[in-house]
Amino acid sequence: MGSGFLAAVGTVAEGSATAAAGALTEPSSEGADTARCQPFTVAFYVGWMLLFVAWVLLGIPIGPGETLSL
């Protein structure tokens, strides 16, 4: 697994641990946990799109005897 995934899981787990400690007295913080992961999602999306665009612009084949065309 990628290090970004582990960082996202660690971020969610950190928030969940504090929420679990006061689960009977405090409202759920699942929305906050999800919101904490959103920057990772955006970063991965932007990163993969940049990689895809670079791949196409450089004309790198996607396999033996195969090309990528749009």
Over residues 12-70, the pLDDT tens digits come to 555 555 545 554 555 556 778 888 889 999 999 999 999 999 988 988 888 888 877 66
Is the pLDDT at 11 greater than 60? The verdict is no
DSSP of the chain: --HHHHHHHHHHHHHHHHHHHTTTTS---HHHHHHHHHHHHHHHHHHHHHHHHHHHHHT--SBTTB----
Is the pLDDT at 7 greater than 90? The verdict is no
What is the pLDDT, as a whole number, of residue 2?
58
What is the pLDDT, as a whole number, of residue 32?
82
